[in-house]
A and B are shown apart, each in its own frame.
Chain A
Amino acid sequence: MDTLVRIRHRLADSSELVVLISFLLVFLFFSIRAENFLSLVSLTNILTIASIKGIFIVGVAMLMISGEFDLSVGSILAVATFVFALSLEAGMAPLLAFVFAMAVSAGLGGINGLIVIRTGIPSFIATLGTMLAFRGIARAIGGADFARFTGEMPALFTGLNGEFTFINRLAEPAGSARMAIVWFVLFAVLAAVVMSNTRFGSWVYATGGNRAAAIAQGVKTKNVIAVNYIVTGVLAGFAGIVQFASRPAVDPLRGEGWELTAVAACVIGGIWLSGGYGTIVGAMLGMLLLQMVEQGLILVGVDVQLFQATIGLILILAVISNTYLSRQ
């Protein structure tokens, strides 16, 4: 009896619980209801497609736990991809172009951080502004046109988002597993370890949970926030380049609207909008859940219009459940 109670308490403590249950239920539902859902191509689709957004959702999740938003991730992603593509076009070595694009992403993330910590403007508003501004930069440097890479694929592309042929060939039709999955898992695990096992992780939770108390205890909350913005910027840029490595074209609207998907994934994953609570694993499951619903609905033969409605319902349910749990 004693152990049962302990288990129950532990469950109430884990913020991923709701998303985990939802994830399993949705998985079960589509496994039964949707033909081909358990096929290699469907499952690898979910993983690979979710991974691109998943990469920067790791950053967005850390930011949200520290109590801040970043609505500019989609725009940073577009700028970074354009910088990468245009540098390649200009004849820059792939690795150099990559480093350059990463530096630009870090810079844009840094700008977000500076604005938020120096001006005290709510991050929602600050990054709404930079979202528009960075989008404008993406459109301007791209000349309102596509940037494409048509030459021989450099080895860097394979490293960034090559196919796992040995997995994909296991079944017919072939799967679509790519390196993106590895990056997603790698960053998520890394972030999860940092968040739970390091001092920096505790600072992030403290910054989002009770900032005044954190400052009183000597946590440099401004530094924490700035670091998180830079990490998010870098991850957003990285996600864009990973994507470019498999589909080497970028349009000026790339990434528009993805910031909201990121917030939705985090909230479904159990992260509080007010900060201080939630985990990286939860956000990860949230993103996978969203992608699973999309693939599942397509397999069931539902028009994608309903995808939005379903996501909306899941989001609201997740918030209701999380709010309920938080009262315990």
Chain B
Amino acid sequence: MQRRMYLFTTLILIALLALAACAPAADSGQQEMSQTEESGGDSAGSEGGLSFIAVQHAECAWDSFWCTVQSGITTAASDLGVDVTILAPDEFDLDKTASLIEQAVAANPDGIMLTVTDPILFREPIMKAIDAGIPVIAYNAGSGPIADKIPYYTYLGQDEYQGGYLGGLRLAAGGGTQGVCINQQVGHTGLDKRCAGFSDALAESGIPAEVLAIGDDPAEAATIIGDYFTANPDTDIFLTLGPNGANPFYVFVENEGLTADDITHGTFDLGDEINANITSGMTMFGIDQQPFLQGYGGVSTLSMIARYGILPALPVSATGPGFVDAASLASEPDAEAAVSVIAVQHAECAWDSFWCVVQNGINTAADLMGVDVTILAPDEFDLDKTASLIEQAVAANPDGIMLTVTDPILFKEPIMKAIDAGIPVIAYNAGSGPIADNIPYYTYLGQDEYQGGYLGGLRLSAGGGTQGVCINQQVGHTGLDKRCAGFSDALAESGIPAEVLAIGDDPAEAATIIGDYYTANPDTDIFLTLGPNGANPFYVFVENEGLTADDITHGTFDLGKEINANIESGLTMFGIDQQPFLQGFGGIQALNLLVRHGIVPALPVTPTGPGFVDRGNLSVVQELAGEYR
């Protein structure tokens, strides 16, 4: 009798466990199916899916560089299920390219991506597209909407300063005495920025750095480098800005009989000689602008705009620097590889509705790109449990882990375990980037707080103003302080002074503080609040004083019932959204690109916000709230 009972018990246990292990698989399969229908339904909104046009000044047929860009475009089109037509002149012909843009506008696509090869020449056709209400973004050639003075959404290309800066950090990581940036074209803005970033990075380690001007003549350049080294024999960190600097540098190294033990070297760009030296260990890295990502990212960005109402966060979306080292040169990405990702987050949709949007982003991307994803989260807020979930995810040996770095000190140990196991790790929603968090994961997808304040400040001060104030409910909070700093910098560019006003989290008191401040500073006409805790008391103050949108301009971070109503009424110019959908979607996309195409995220922080919500797109955002926004 007893034995029968044991048998019975154990059998039931096995059956239940088997059930437990199988049931969710079927469950998630259903979820995936319904999502496919959903996204299919979305794209079907424009009858047969989205169609985009890419207009570029060159093409694969006669310039092999563009084959990589176009491969990015077609891969993204197939990953995301959109239609893309590539238009380019048969030979280098900017005028023809400009007219191709005009013809693209006539086709009335759901979005246009183009190279802003010459902002003056292309201004008129691009404006035609923008005026027709077609979303426009730039890739490969351009400087961003602000510098190009054309209000397209964003430019996808290399961030030159960050290339120099992040390269400098790597070169100086092992210490050094003296650095030099070898510049073949001093005066060229892009190259100068690279050297500036390099110098700044070395300065952080207390290493002095100089710029050495060489010409484009290789033999002469090698001599100039040799002479410099004779005069400055302590120099042990070298950055070259492309093959025209690297190749003479290699001649110099051979002449002097130097080895990787004596000096460290990094360079921009790749090439036969550079690659050989990366493999041999002489050169630490080559910096790639990642043309594949320029094409892929362009299509992805347009899809985000057209499908989910999600706007690119910054005027410049960095596709590079992409660091290529000996390990990445040796690895062969496999575009067809099966990719399994585990997402570990400190909260989840079941008990925090904010996360439904993030998880929708994760599942939508995984579904589109054919990535297998498991989301792990504690059943209630439990950071230690979250940390153990990361450890347990490592044991599953997935192709990538995306996680929230809710507390960098608490999570460092489990994250390092993943990184040491060779699993690519990226962070989303919570974190500060690998440098600030002091954990070498790839990138953090979240809001760029400084840029939020800065770009918000530019908008608020565009119509002029006398005096600005940043209303901060928590002075000392790094993120909030950065927002105010960006705001002040933007206003300073228009010569408008700005101050920070500290209020508490008590709404009634905050309204009084704002009122008192206004009485003392009646010239104040530009207001930035940093969330509902600032905006709501601000609205009380506005009502008390009887102010209107004619008297002041106001922008705020975050959205909410009251904020949305005031955007609608015109009192508030915009609310800034961190775009949680993009945090989930972008995380999967970044790991997919990394594993299948060897594309590394360019920057330590990949901004998903600021996403500006104003009167123009409020209704779209409200419609998508809870699902995509």
- A17 to B572 alpha-carbon distance, docked (Å): 68
> In the complex, what residue of chain A is closest to B422 when comparing beta carbons?
A173
Q: Is the CB of B383 within 8 A of A300?
A: no
- A17 to B3 alpha-carbon distance, docked (Å): 12
Contact with B along A21-40 (1 / 0, CB 8 A): 11001100100010110010
Q: Is the CB of A303 within 8 A of B413?
A: no
Contact with A along B399-437 (1 / 0, CB 8 A): 000000001011111100100111100000000000000
Contact with B along A86-118 (1 / 0, CB 8 A): 000000000000000000000000000000000
Q: Is the CB of B375 within 8 A of A303?
A: yes
For residues 272 through 328 of chain A, which have their beta carbon under 8 Å from a beta carbon of chain B? 294-295, 297-306, 308-310, 313-314, 317, 320-321, 324-325, 328
Q: Is B156 an interface residue (CB 8 A)?
A: no
Residues on B with beta carbons closer than 8 Å to the beta carbon of A247: 384, 387, 409-414
- A313 to B340 alpha-carbon distance, docked (Å): 29
Per a CB cutoff under 8 Å, which of A8, A257, A297 touches B2? Answer: A8
Q: Is B547 an interface residue (CB 8 A)?
A: no
* Given A25-B10, A150-B409, A303-B374, residue A254 in contact with residue B21 (CB < 8 A): no
Q: Is A207 an interface residue (CB 8 A)?
A: no
* Given A26-B17, A320-B9, residue A301 in contact with residue B374 (CB < 8 A): yes
Q: Is the CB of B392 within 8 A of A45?
A: yes
Q: Is A179 an interface residue (CB 8 A)?
A: no
Residues on B with beta carbons closer than 8 Å to the beta carbon of A300: 21
For residues 1 through 55 of chain B, which have their beta carbon under 8 Å from a beta carbon of chain A? 2-3, 5-6, 9-10, 12-14, 16-18, 20-21, 23-25, 28
For residues 358 through 381 of chain B, which have their beta carbon under 8 Å from a beta carbon of chain A? 372, 374-381
Q: Is the CB of B409 within 8 A of A303?
A: no
Q: Is B388 an interface residue (CB 8 A)?
A: yes
Residues on B with beta carbons closer than 8 Å to the beta carbon of A248: 409-410
Query: Nearest Cβ in chain A — how far from B467, in angstroms?
Result: 34
* Given A249-B407, A328-B2, residue A298 in contact with residue B389 (CB < 8 A): yes
For residues 167 through 197 of chain B, which have their beta carbon under 8 Å from a beta carbon of chain A? none
Residues on A with beta carbons closer than 8 Å to the beta carbon of B393: 298
Q: Is B258 an interface residue (CB 8 A)?
A: no
Q: Is B394 an interface residue (CB 8 A)?
A: yes
> In the complex, what residue of chain A is closest to B414 when comparing beta carbons?
A247
Residues on A with beta carbons closer than 8 Å to the beta carbon of B420: 173-174
Contact with B along A1-28 (1 / 0, CB 8 A): 0000000100110000110011001100
* Given A45-B391, A295-B392, residue A246 in contact with residue B413 (CB < 8 A): yes
* Given A39-B395, A49-B391, A254-B384, residue A306 in contact with residue B23 (CB < 8 A): yes
Q: Is the CB of B397 within 8 A of A36?
A: yes
- A315 to B472 alpha-carbon distance, docked (Å): 50
Per a CB cutoff under 8 Å, which of B16, B23, B25, B389 touches A301? Answer: B25
Q: Is B216 an interface residue (CB 8 A)?
A: no
* Given A8-B2, A297-B20, A298-B392, residue A172 in contact with residue B421 (CB < 8 A): yes
Q: Is the CB of A253 within 8 A of B383?
A: yes
Q: Is B204 an interface residue (CB 8 A)?
A: no
- A306 to B421 alpha-carbon distance, docked (Å): 27
> In the complex, what residue of chain B is closest to A17 when comparing beta carbons?
B6
Contact with A along B62-78 (1 / 0, CB 8 A): 00000000000000000
Query: Nearest Cβ in chain B — how far from A8, in angstroms?
Result: 7
* Given A42-B395, A303-B28, A324-B5, residue A33 in contact with residue B21 (CB < 8 A): yes
- A172 to B340 alpha-carbon distance, docked (Å): 19
Per a CB cutoff under 8 Å, which of A35, A310, A321 touches B20? Answer: A310
Residues on B with beta carbons closer than 8 Å to the beta carbon of A21: 6, 9-10
Q: Is A75 an interface residue (CB 8 A)?
A: no
Q: Is the CB of B12 within 8 A of A299?
A: no
Q: Is the CB of B10 within 8 A of A306?
A: no
In the complex, number of A-B residue pairs with CB atoms less than 8 Å apart: 159
> In the complex, what residue of chain B is closest to A318 when comparing beta carbons?
B9
- A302 to B396 alpha-carbon distance, docked (Å): 11
Query: Nearest Cβ in chain A — how far from B422, in angstroms?
Result: 7
Per a CB cutoff under 8 Å, which of A18, A41, A303, A321 touches B395? Answer: A41
- A305 to B359 alpha-carbon distance, docked (Å): 14
- A33 to B394 alpha-carbon distance, docked (Å): 18
Tally chain A residues at the interface, Cβ within 8 Å: 61
Query: Nearest Cβ in chain A — how far from B348, in angstroms?
Result: 8
Q: Is the CB of B410 within 8 A of A173?
A: no
- A266 to B25 alpha-carbon distance, docked (Å): 31
Q: Is the CB of B421 within 8 A of A304?
A: no
Q: Is B106 an interface residue (CB 8 A)?
A: no
Q: Is the CB of A317 within 8 A of B9?
A: yes
> In the complex, what residue of chain A is closest to B407 when comparing beta carbons?
A249
Interface of A (DSSP majority class): helix
- A295 to B397 alpha-carbon distance, docked (Å): 12
- A56 to B393 alpha-carbon distance, docked (Å): 25
Q: Is the CB of A173 within 8 A of B2?
A: no
Q: Is B332 an interface residue (CB 8 A)?
A: no
Q: Is B382 an interface residue (CB 8 A)?
A: yes
- A248 to B412 alpha-carbon distance, docked (Å): 9
- A174 to B395 alpha-carbon distance, docked (Å): 9
Q: Is B337 an interface residue (CB 8 A)?
A: no
* Given A21-B10, A174-B417, A303-B376, residue A295 in contact with residue B410 (CB < 8 A): no
* Given A33-B21, A305-B350, A313-B16, residue A298 in contact with residue B374 (CB < 8 A): yes
Query: Nearest Cβ in chain A — how far from B356, in angstroms?
Result: 14
Contact with B along A138-173 (1 / 0, CB 8 A): 000000001011100000000000000000000011
Q: Is A127 an interface residue (CB 8 A)?
A: no
Q: Is the CB of B380 within 8 A of A256?
A: yes
Per a CB cutoff under 8 Å, which of B24, B383, B389, B421 touches A41? Answer: B421
Q: Is the CB of B9 within 8 A of A18?
A: yes
Query: Nearest Cβ in chain A — how far from B21, in angstroms?
Result: 5
Query: Nearest Cβ in chain A — how far from B396, in angstroms?
Result: 5
Query: Nearest Cβ in chain B — how far from A22, in angstroms?
Result: 6
Q: Is A72 an interface residue (CB 8 A)?
A: no
* Given A174-B421, A243-B384, A328-B2, residue A309 in contact with residue B20 (CB < 8 A): yes
> In the complex, what residue of chain A is closest to B17 when comparing beta carbons?
A29
Q: Is A176 an interface residue (CB 8 A)?
A: yes
Per a CB cutoff under 8 Å, which of B3, B379, B395 touches A304? Answer: B379
Q: Is the CB of B392 within 8 A of A49?
A: yes
- A11 to B422 alpha-carbon distance, docked (Å): 47
* Given A247-B409, A249-B409, A302-B21, residue A22 in contact with residue B10 (CB < 8 A): yes
Query: Nearest Cβ in chain A — how far from B15, in angstroms?
Result: 10
> In the complex, what residue of chain B is closest to A251 when comparing beta carbons?
B383
Residues on B with beta carbons closer than 8 Å to the beta carbon of A325: 2
Per a CB cutoff under 8 Å, which of A36, A246, A305 touches B396? Answer: A36
Query: Nearest Cβ in chain B — how far from A170, in angstroms?
Result: 14
- Most-contacted residue by chain A among B25, B412, B413 (CB, 10 A): B413
Residues on A with beta carbons closer than 8 Å to the beta carbon of B6: 17-18, 21, 321
> In the complex, what residue of chain A is closest to B380 when comparing beta carbons?
A257
- A68 to B25 alpha-carbon distance, docked (Å): 41
Query: Nearest Cβ in chain A — how far from B579, in angstroms?
Result: 25
- A18 to B381 alpha-carbon distance, docked (Å): 32
Q: Is the CB of A36 within 8 A of B388?
A: no
Q: Is the CB of A253 within 8 A of B382?
A: yes
Contact with A along B570-582 (1 / 0, CB 8 A): 0000000000000
Q: Is the CB of A176 within 8 A of B391?
A: yes
> In the complex, what residue of chain B is closest to A255 when comparing beta carbons?
B384
23 A–B contacts from the bound complex (CB under 8 Å) = A8-B3, A29-B18, A45-B388, A146-B407, A146-B410, A173-B423, A174-B417, A247-B384, A247-B413, A249-B407, A251-B383, A251-B410, A255-B384, A256-B381, A297-B21, A299-B395, A303-B375, A304-B376, A304-B378, A305-B24, A313-B20, A324-B5, A328-B2
A-B interface, 3 closest residue pairs, ranked by CB to CB distance from nearest: A173-B421, A42-B395, A249-B410
Q: A22-B13, A173-B397 are in contact. List 6 more A-B contacts (CB 8 A).
A: A39-B395, A42-B392, A45-B392, A248-B410, A298-B392, A303-B24
